[in-house]
């Protein structure tokens, strides 16, 4: 693998060439909150009398130098609480050399007691993180506190990741999207992974999970954390398995805890832990078409069988919580037995594990550890609702974090679409965060373009869910686009689009140049057939008769309509029998 | 515009280069039915002991020469019924010269009485068309007849389009997908449109609609019909408007009927007729964000206002039905007032028109004209179900044919995805046919690649709906893919994919060459982390102990599980206390 620090010149050149520049007619602005809180938003300027639109923004501050990382936004808030201490980090391996000096931390933070957002919330304390997300979501800070206290929402916020801009995951808030990045043994470098991170947040990722399993796993994570404006999740069992030489049966709980602590000290904000996969569940999978498809689940299943013992993550779950609460690492209870195909959806194995996840969620609550519950996977449309209902029932309303689900298995290469369908539906029905799926799912590791395609499909799914849930303000975006469409403000349509560049490019393919952007029609129908144009003419027609285009047109026609009704309004009776046959 | 007949050399060369060749390891086969009926299917050969999979196939017979058109499959059936006569076609315009000799028909068929499939069905007659679709859908022919007789399903089957392979549209059958093609004033040629037709059916279009509004409208349609193995729909008001010089107010019913008859004589199988947009509905649209977005709807609204008269398609609807029943042209009652954005969804205007569509459907039934009802458009997820419920209530179960709907307006350039989400949901809930949306929707006319992207997204939506509805056999495709996935049969996965080429290409990007296709892992996780591989090892582990990999593993572990339960199965009680602390 090439030296990661040497390959940034190319990245810098690319950035300055505008690829990472803000979208046109957009600027990053900050909404000012109490105590100097500044919440990022994307302001989209619109033409004419239209008010600008403010959109949720995940892209983070502009990185001047990825070797230095982002500013430590939350440092002051964390220190001010006075309940953390500096300790020596546990990791001392060779990968430290692959972490540039300005990014390397000699000491890390640990709580002197429980320091989770959930704990503060239960004490009645509204933290700056809660203020931040309240402003970010346009909701009341007290509501945020209450949801976090009840365990219905989480704010992943490890003090060792002060660079992150707080965000909240819960059913009453905007549906969030996670982007998976990370290398594997057969592919990619640190450079590429940091680029994928930046690319993912540019397209709206609310969190990223670093699923690296290949070389430089510790260093890659450090680069990602120091440059991530969003919470970072991991699956520590992956790194633990590397320590066990890739052999599941040689894993030990000590290896796992060492890994967990090193990652917590780096700043990982949430961790997937497959503690709910119990020995007794494994036989339930033997009749499945695709068995166990979760990587973590299959690793632990193999361990359980090799030792004929209960999953050590289950038996040691309290010890795990005792550490997580000192770093405010949220636990994402992994669904190791999630179905890997439609045939296995909603089966006994899946739901048996879900019940266990509910038990574990209650234990985590005792430690004020923030919890979310992972969900499938592969589920036919008609079986999605049951997943949400059971999760709520079993897990006491802990946020549901689902992977898709894909709703059909027949379209490898298009699983961003098969799964965006399921994701939109499960988001509407209550899932709080959706883990994106890229077009490469089931086939290979995503490249940068795949990350974008996956993100766009999932921003669509999440926003469709927000609109359907009636999240306050969600539809303003759609309405601004619709108004621009009706008024032929092409440039505004492009600027408002999830992907402004593609919208403009597609339009220009058939109606190029500045004239095309002023056209009061598009190439779909041409000028004669443009329904929007004709509708506008209809309104002008009314106006030319001295009528207000909206109300008076209605009034004028209402008289006509009243006449109809007075005549019985029967089908097939000529409107105006005096004129004989209809001239048209 | 270039001479269409001269540009086929290029197309022929392209075809022989394999672009239109059947997908690998697939062959077209014919299922034999009564009376010599031969129903096309795609047989996918799988490796090892796996049975081949038979898939619904819309691609039609291989075209030797698009200047000759396809063989007239249904000619014998039509003649044998003895209720059609040869007449002179009404069209005599200059475009005949653009239709090659072998394709030009000097006489066309017209029923000597009502000849619709609905009429036969109501007489208790099972036509060859019904036998064909029954075999194609693996259902009972009598059920097909009954559904058609009740108006709950339609078989578009104009005797002047004998080239078409019968298909059925109804809630109890596979969800169908329509692909819109057709040129506009600003774009494309006959050549391109025929190519789009072939491309659309290759990717699974069940019908195509020719929405041409530009030059050569009659000739383009003739080329399309003679080469289409699927029913062809049109919106005759578009051509009628061309005859009226592009001015809606100058349209006459006579122009419309002349157009309708010419199209019926060419072989158009179904026509969108916006007869439900009434004068009294127009005021209901004045408060809308995007007014009237249906092209046909806006044309008729303008006519109504200009003349201050009722829509002539409404007042003359019985005359229209009197002709449609002689050509078995199905009527697709257009939703001229469908919403054009989320803000306008499910409003008074939309549902007022829907009620009228129900009245018109009942009139059409009097003439045994086959009917479907068009639906939106733009609808938030939570408002989709109401559309289906109201359509069923208002229109007596006539098949619902919807355009998407898109579930958010924020993603121009990706509306194949925004709408596939809505399409999957509405298909599951009862829509019988989905009109595809391409990535160019709202921006421009689709090219060939857009047609493919739109088709794939909609085949996904339709299949997801079929699975969710529990259509017999639908999930066999998913299950075959899942089994291939679990057994690392990479080539089988590619062959089973909706888009085999893309699946293979994505896989090969990271694990190229023949070795990659034998790999018992993929580049997503690499060999150590492959959950499927580990699960297989788990099963082999059990086998090595002389246990049957499925049942006995379960048995062996069930003892262990029973022991657990006997011990209370409490959380956090060590499994095997004799062994002290868990070694892991």
Q: Confidence band (pLDDT; 50, 70, 90) for A525?
A: low
Among the listed residues A405, A367, A378, A192, the one whose alpha carbon sits nearest the alpha carbon of residue A290: A378
Residues B291, B296, B302: CA angle, nearest 5 degrees: 60
Give how far A85 is from chain B: nearest CA, Å.
Answer: 30
Q: Confidence band (pLDDT; 50, 70, 90) for B87?
A: very high
Mean pLDDT in residue range A212-235: 94
B318: which chain A residues are within 8 Å (Cβ-Cβ)? 572
Give how far A393 is from chain B: nearest CA, Å.
Answer: 19
Beta-strand (E) ranges in A444-584? none
Q: Under a CB-based contact definition with an 8 Å cutoff, are residues B294 and B248 in contact?
A: no
What is d(CA A280, CA A301) in angstroms, rounded to the nearest whole number? Answer: 10
Give how far A39 is from chain B: nearest CA, Å.
Answer: 23
* Residue of B184, B481, B526 lying closest to A526 (CB–CB): B184
* Residue of B413, B425, B537 lying closest to A506 (CB–CB): B413
Give how far B475 is from chain A: nearest CA, Å.
Answer: 8
Q: Confidence band (pLDDT; 50, 70, 90) for A555?
A: low
Q: Centre a 10 Å sphere on the Cβ of residue A47 and count the other Cβ atoms it contains.
A: 13
The maximal CA–CA distance of chain A, rounded, in angstroms, is 97
Give the pLDDT of residue B65.
Answer: 87
B25: left (phi over 0), alpha (psi -120 to 50) or beta: left
Can you list the pairs that B104-107 forms with residues at least 24 positions away whose Cβ atoms lie under 8 Å?
A: B104/B222, B105/B160
Among the listed residues A315, A301, A313, the one whose alpha carbon sits nearest the alpha carbon of residue A272: A313
Give the pLDDT of residue A472.
Answer: 83
Which residue on chain B is closest to A409 by alpha carbon? B478
What is d(CA B406, CA B378) in angstroms, rounded to the nearest whole number? Answer: 5
* Residue of A293, A363, A537 lying closest to B571 (CB–CB): A363
State whether residue A208 is helix, strand or coil.
strand
Which residue on chain A is closest to B239 by alpha carbon? A529
Q: Under a CB-based contact definition with an 8 Å cutoff, are residues A30 and A40 in contact?
A: yes
Do residue B510 and residue A536 have CB atoms under 8 angstroms apart?
no
What is d(CA B458, CA B436) in angstroms, rounded to the nearest whole number? Answer: 6
Place of tokens 């994570």: A221
Give the pLDDT of residue B499.
Answer: 96
Q: Which two tokens stand for residue B451?
A: 């047609």
The maximal CA–CA distance of chain B, rounded, in angstroms, is 96
Do residue B340 and residue A482 have CB atoms under 8 angstroms apart?
yes
Place of tokens 């469409």: A485
Give the pLDDT of residue A584.
Answer: 27
B442: which chain A residues are within 8 Å (Cβ-Cβ)? 485, 493, 522, 524
Positive or negative: CA dihedral A535, A536, A539, A541: negative
What is d(CA B41, CA A268) in angstroms, rounded to the nearest whole number? Answer: 52
Q: Confidence band (pLDDT; 50, 70, 90) for B580?
A: very low
Cis bond before residue A221 (omega within 30° of 0) = no
Q: Could you report how far apart the first and last alpha carbons of chain A are, in Å?
A: 75
Do residue B529 and residue A584 have CB atoms under 8 angstroms apart?
no
Q: Residue A432 phi/psi, 5° resolution?
A: -90, -30
pLDDT exceeds 60 at position A542 = no
Q: Which two tokens stand for residue B545?
A: 């102990």
Do residue B571 and residue A537 have CB atoms under 8 angstroms apart?
no
What is d(CA B327, CA B230) in angstroms, rounded to the nearest whole number? Answer: 17
Do residue B412 and residue A497 have CB atoms under 8 angstroms apart?
yes
- The more confidently predicted of residues A165 and A558 is A165
- Residue A555, exposed/middle/buried by CB under 10 A (0-12, 13-18, 19+)? middle
How does strand A371-375 pair with strand A330-333?
parallel
Do residue A299 and residue B529 have CB atoms under 8 angstroms apart?
yes
Residues A348, A351, A355: CA angle, nearest 5 degrees: 130
Which of A77-91, A272-286, B289-303, B522-536 bottoms out in mean pLDDT, i.e. has the lowest? B522-536
Positive or negative: CA dihedral B573, B579, B580, B584: negative
Do residue A524 and residue B444 have CB atoms under 8 angstroms apart?
yes
Residues A224-276 have pLDDT tens digits of 999 999 999 999 999 999 999 999 999 999 999 999 999 999 999 999 999 99
Mean pLDDT in residue range B398-418: 98
Residues B208-248 have pLDDT tens digits of 999 988 788 999 999 999 999 999 999 999 999 999 999 99
What is d(CA B298, CA B302) in angstroms, rounded to the nearest whole number? Answer: 6
Distances (CA, A) of B467 to A197, B423, B524: 36, 14, 27
Do residue B469 and residue A572 have CB atoms under 8 angstroms apart?
no
Give the pLDDT of residue A528.
Answer: 63
Count of residues making up chain B: 584
Give how far A190 is from chain B: nearest CA, Å.
Answer: 16
Q: Rounded mean pLDDT of chain B?
A: 87
What is d(CA A213, CA A194) in angstroms, rounded to the nearest whole number? Answer: 15
Give how far A171 is from chain B: nearest CA, Å.
Answer: 16
Among the listed residues A529, A531, A536, the one whose alpha carbon sits nearest the alpha carbon of residue B247: A529
Do residue A413 and residue B497 have CB atoms under 8 angstroms apart?
yes
Rounded to 10°, the helix B317-327/B253-266 angle is 10
* Residue of A409, A445, A510 lying closest to B510 (CB–CB): A445
Q: Rounded mean pLDDT of chain A?
A: 87
What lies within 8 Å, CB to CB, of B385 at 6+ separation is B429
Radius of gyration of chain B (CA): 27
Which residue on chain B is closest to A503 by alpha carbon? B413
Among the listed residues A407, A392, A441, the one whose alpha carbon sits nearest the alpha carbon of residue A339: A407
Mean pLDDT in residue range B258-282: 97
Which residue on chain B is closest to A340 by alpha carbon? B482
- The more confidently predicted of residues A11 and B101 is B101
B482: which chain A residues are within 8 Å (Cβ-Cβ)? 289-290, 340-344, 409
What is d(CA B276, CA B371) in angstroms, rounded to the nearest whole number? Answer: 13
* Residue of A469, A507, A583 lying closest to B443 (CB–CB): A507
What is d(CA A252, CA A265) in angstroms, rounded to the nearest whole number? Answer: 20
Do residue B444 and residue A523 have CB atoms under 8 angstroms apart?
yes
Strand-pairing partners, residue A40, are A30
Do residue B510 and residue A444 have CB atoms under 8 angstroms apart?
yes
ipTM: 0.90
Mean pLDDT in residue range B280-288: 92
Q: Which of A412, A459, A467, A559 to mutate to test the interface with B (most CBs of B within 10 A)?
A: A412
pLDDT exceeds 70 at position B406 = yes
Do residue A528 and residue B185 have CB atoms under 8 angstroms apart?
yes
Q: Confidence band (pLDDT; 50, 70, 90) for B185?
A: low
Give the pLDDT of residue B512.
Answer: 72
Q: Percent of chain A having pLDDT more than 90?
A: 75
What is d(CA A535, CA B339) in angstroms, rounded to the nearest whole number? Answer: 13
Radius of gyration of chain A (CA): 27
Tell me how many residue pairs between chain A and chain B have CB atoms under 8 A apart: 531
What is d(CA B200, CA B317) in angstroms, rounded to the nearest whole number? Answer: 32
Q: Which two tokens stand for residue B257?
A: 């009927």
Q: Residue B184 phi/psi, 5° resolution?
A: -135, 175
Place of tokens 């007075």: A566
What is d(CA A343, CA B240) in angstroms, rounded to the nearest whole number? Answer: 51
What is d(CA B218, CA B94) in angstroms, rounded to the nearest whole number? Answer: 10
B360: which chain A residues are within 8 Å (Cβ-Cβ)? 571
Which residue on chain B is closest to A303 by alpha carbon? B584
Q: Which two tokens stand for residue B203?
A: 């990717």
State whether residue B57 is helix, strand or coil.
coil
Residues A350-405 have pLDDT tens digits of 999 999 999 999 999 999 999 999 999 999 999 999 999 999 999 999 999 999 99
Q: For the residues of B451-467, what is the DSSP string, one character each?
A: HHHHHHHHHHHHHHHHH
pLDDT exceeds 50 at position B139 = yes
pLDDT exceeds 70 at position A287 = yes
Give the pLDDT of residue A273.
Answer: 98
Which residue on chain A is closest to B312 by alpha carbon? A584
Do residue B251 and residue A584 have CB atoms under 8 angstroms apart?
yes
Give the pLDDT of residue B215.
Answer: 80
A253: which chain B residues are within 8 Å (Cβ-Cβ)? 582, 584
B550: which chain A residues are within 8 Å (Cβ-Cβ)? 286-287
pLDDT exceeds 80 at position B124 = yes
* Residue of A440, A496, A532 lying closest to B293 (CB–CB): A532
Q: Under a CB-based contact definition with an 8 Å cutoff, are residues A433 and A176 in contact?
A: yes
Q: For the residues of A374-418, what is the DSSP string, one character each?
A: EE-SB--GGGHHHHHHHHHHHHTTPPEEEE--BS-SS-TT-HHHH
What is d(CA A27, CA A193) in angstroms, rounded to the nearest whole number? Answer: 26
* Residue of A315, A408, A439 lying closest to B464 (CB–CB): A408
Buried b (16+ CB within 10 A) or exposed e, B392-407: bebbbbbbbbbbbbbb
- Residue A102, exposed/middle/buried by CB under 10 A (0-12, 13-18, 19+)? exposed
Count of residues making up chain A: 584
Give the pLDDT of residue A215.
Answer: 80
pLDDT exceeds 70 at position A176 = yes
């Amino acid at each position: 693998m090439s030296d990661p620090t040497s390959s940034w010149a190319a990245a810098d050149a690319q950035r300055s060439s505008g690829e990472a520049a803000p979208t046109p007619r957009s600027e990053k602005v900050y909404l000012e909150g109490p105590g100097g809180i500044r919440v990022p938003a994307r302001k989209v300027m619109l033409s004419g009398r239209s008010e600008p639109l403010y959109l949720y923004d995940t892209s983070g501050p502009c990185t001047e130098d990825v070797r230095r990382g982002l500013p430590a936004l939350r440092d002051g808030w964390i220190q001010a609480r006075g309940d953390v201490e500096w300790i020596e980090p546990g990791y001392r391996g060779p990968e430290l050399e692959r972490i540039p000096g300005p990014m390397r931390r000699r000491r890390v933070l640990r709580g002197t007691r429980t320091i989770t957002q959930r704990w503060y919330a239960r004490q009645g304390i509204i933290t700056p993180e809660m203020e931040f997300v309240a402003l970010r979501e346009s909701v009341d800070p007290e509501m945020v506190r209450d949801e976090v206290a009840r365990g219905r929402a989480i704010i992943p916020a490890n003090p060792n990741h002060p660079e992150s801009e707080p965000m909240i995951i819960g059913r009453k808030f905007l549906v969030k999207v996670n982007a998976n990045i990370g290398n594997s043994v057969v592919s990619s470098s640190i450079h590429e992974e940091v680029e994928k991170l930046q690319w993912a947040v540019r397209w709206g990722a609310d969190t990223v999970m670093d699923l690296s399993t290949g070389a430089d796993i510790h260093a890659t994570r450090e680069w990602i954390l120091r440059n991530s404006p969003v919470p970072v999740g991991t699956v520590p069992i992956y790194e633990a398995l590397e320590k066990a030489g890739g052999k599941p049966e040689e894993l030990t709980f000590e290896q796992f805890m060492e890994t967990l602590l090193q990652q917590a000290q780096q700043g990982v904000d949430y961790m997937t832990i497959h503690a709910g996969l119990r020995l007794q569940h494994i036989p339930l999978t033997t009749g499945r078409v695709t068995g166990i498809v979760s990587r973590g689940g299959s690793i632990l299943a193999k361990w359980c069988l090799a030792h004929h013992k209960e999953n050590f993550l289950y038996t040691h779950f309290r010890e795990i919580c005792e550490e997580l609460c000192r770093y405010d690492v949220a636990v994402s209870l992994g669904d190791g037995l999630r179905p890997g195909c439609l045939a296995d959806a909603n089966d006994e194995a899946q739901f048996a594990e879900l019940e266990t996840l509910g038990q574990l969620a209650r234990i985590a609550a005792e430690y004020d550890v923030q919890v979310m519950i992972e969900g499938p996977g592969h589920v036919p449309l008609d079986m999605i609702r049951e997943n949400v209902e059971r999760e709520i029932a079993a897990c006491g309303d802990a946020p549901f974090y689902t992977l898709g689900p894909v709703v059909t298995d027949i379209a490898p290469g298009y699983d961003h679409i098969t799964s965006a369908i399921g994701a939109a539906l499960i988001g509407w029905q209550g899932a709080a965060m959706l883990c994106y799926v890229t077009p490469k799912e089931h086939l290979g590791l995503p490249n940068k373009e795949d990350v974008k395609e996956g993100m766009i499909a999932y921003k669509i799914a999440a926003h469709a869910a927000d609109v359907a849930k009636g999240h306050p303000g969600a539809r303003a975006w759609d309405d601004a686009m619709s108004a621009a469409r009706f008024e032929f403000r092409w440039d505004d349509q492009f600027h408002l689009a999830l992907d402004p560049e593609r919208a403009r490019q597609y339009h220009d393919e058939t109606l190029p140049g500045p004239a095309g952007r002023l056209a009061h029609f598009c190439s779909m129908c041409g000028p004669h057939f443009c329904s929007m144009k004709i509708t506008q003419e209809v309104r002008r027609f009314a106006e030319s008769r001295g009528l207000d285009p909206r109300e008076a047109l209605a009034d004028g026609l209402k008289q006509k309509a009243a006449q109809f009704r007075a005549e019985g309004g029967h089908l097939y009776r000529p409107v105006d029998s005096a004129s004989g046959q209809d001239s048209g």
